[in-house]
Structure 1
């Protein structure tokens, strides 16, 4: 080999080494959800719980739908999703790939997550999916509806909450069954409640002692925007059906659902008066109104309208990848 060729080979080898160093030298590709989403936040909390370092994995900020395609193609090893149970997107992935498995969180990781977030321990029963052979330990939160107190009047807040409960049977999505009076206040916790929603729930005999939000609605708009999530998740299709229910049962309004980056984007859009309604995990909503976490200052114009469904952190991989735990990424 000539000196010139040898130097060229060394140069190429050095470039490869730099490339591997830049991406951490890891073959573990993990989809953590879009930037600004609750999935992104919980994924990073899971990494912290397992004391993983950046060189242990490569992250892909994709919604669960796109990430599932990557898992199927073998380009993504682990995909984290906050989804309803069961999730049709996971069932579809199993139908295509045939060897999907779900990763459990360790007791230590769950304790860490509970100490540092609003998520709480949950067990996914083995009969939730055909491919599960045993229960899966994970964490869960609640999907809730937040309303803009600058654009949602008391009467409209009342009608929105009422339709969510009394017309949820018109929703074909499986998670529509979770919108019941028994579940109506799940996720309320420390959030201010919209006065219209508060009036409806009080009429139904529900009790709570939360702060009732003050309204600043100068002129109730007829055209309203509902922020959902990515097309591959639960928010987007469910939010579309919720908008249809409201449009069919509340006179004088037209709600349009839109695809977004989910919780954080929806809450920020409400704050900036660019959105009227937003679906969110209850943890980020609490952060928003308190001005903590991803929010530098309190979001003063956001209020709880109702519970939508329990949000379950579901972590999928494939048998062929040989990953049983996040410990395997080290």
Structure 2
């Protein structure tokens, strides 16, 4: 049973925060941020939560395919910033777009979330029981950021993106390679919740804000992500020259340069939008993919070979090789 991407879409909140805007309440500068990250601005949600961003992206995907939401069999949302622990963000998206027949759930693999969710959805569809489904990556990172901590606040933005999957006679997904390492979970944590009830008096306090070991994450990506890229190429029986584009999680411009050098794929093949969006966690890969399709850089149905790769908290990392 084949599976293919038939439509894409994304949504960025209209409120833009530039690096200069951050200098009003933070000891930083546009030069300092751009030199270390490649980021010049980010989009920040105002009176919108994760489900709102995801629903808008979903509506745009369906509109581009001229499809009604009632045709969807499932909605899968990758996010580390859900509206609530319950109900799932995916269920709220279902309600907002009227996808009355879809089953829905969230997945949290942090910045690798879209890669993990896309893999899961692909296998769900290969069972043959489902015809059409949405896979969304959506984040409001702004609500878990300490806006006085310049080591993290300058990095993140809000947004949502996704793809429509449909059954196909040909399988467009060539290979995948997914990994996790829970022994390094403390490298990136957010919105920790302590056990608190009247039967204990010494409960530890949770930490609402995102905390990140920047050097540790950089080293992890430099060592582990090139390996998964090599592995997915081998599994797909593809050469580096076969890859038209690498669409990697947009964490840091420097990291993209390191990955390009280590896997020996030209930097020109590493697509990027981090300057305009910042790090949007699970949303970064689908946002960038849709922007490239809207610009005509990538065309659905062209058969081009694209490598998607993500990495983030958990720790988690993984890659998918596919034809578009």
TM range (shorter): under 0.3
Using the size of structure 2 for normalisation, the TM-score is 0.27
